[in-house]
Homo-oligomer: A and B are copies of this chain.
């Protein structure tokens, strides 16, 4: 793990990169990283996140700035800008069930090729997917999902990179921290090693590549 500035960290993300961003309706999102992504105007991003948040907040900022070329998410119902961009074919949107989304990312992070889920069987979600029967019950084969970058927001990060999360800001963060080639983290508090007890570490240090240093 390396502590670097937010400018340096975002400079590592090329235009057109695939990025997973933590957060659920803007809660638990690495805002400082997104602000810098906007400032450095990283265009054509392939974004994977639970939702599109709302304009001005969290992932919503990326839509405000027109930086997203594709979105994989479970819903965008509360972001009219993301909806407009979808309808105008400015972004390709793949909407998938939330449980399927997180399980596909987990599979990507855990070296699984995919999982079999009952969710979506017999619905439009099943279109184009392999359906597999086990003991007479039908499941969809949902494949693993990974990205080049994961932008993670933690509550505590220690000097080694161990992370813990607070309340409902955990959501997708620990899952995406396993599913990307490069993991960049912002934390509400950076603390000495040992402040987070071993049993309370949620994301172990070796998963973290870059921690955004305090200014």
Residues of chain A whose beta carbon lies under 8 Å from any beta carbon of chain B:
103, 107, 110-118, 130, 132, 134, 137, 139, 141, 143-144, 164-167, 170, 198-200
9 A-B pairs with the lowest CB-CB distances in the bound complex, closest first? A113-B116, A113-B139, A113-B134, A114-B116, A112-B115, A115-B115, A134-B143, A112-B116, A112-B117
- With a cutoff of 8 Å between Cβ atoms, the chain B residues found around residue A116 in the complex are 107, 112-115, 141
Number of copies: 2
- With a cutoff of 8 Å between Cβ atoms, the chain B residues found around residue A112 in the complex are 103, 115-117, 139
22 A-B pairs in the complex with CB atoms less than 8 angstroms apart: A103-B110, A103-B112, A107-B116, A111-B117, A111-B118, A112-B115, A112-B139, A113-B116, A113-B117, A113-B134, A113-B137, A113-B139, A114-B116, A115-B115, A115-B116, A130-B132, A134-B143, A134-B144, A165-B199, A167-B198, A167-B199, A200-B200
Find out whether the CB atom of A115 lies under 8 angstroms from the CB atom of B118.
Answer: no
Which residue from chain B places its CB closest to the CB of A107 in the assembled complex? B115
- With a cutoff of 8 Å between Cβ atoms, the chain B residues found around residue A139 in the complex are 112-114
Bound-complex Cα distance A201 to B46 (A): 34
A199 in contact with B166 given A132-B141, A134-B143, A143-B134 (CB within 8 Å)? yes
Measured CB to CB, the closest approach of chain B to A112, in angstroms, equals 5
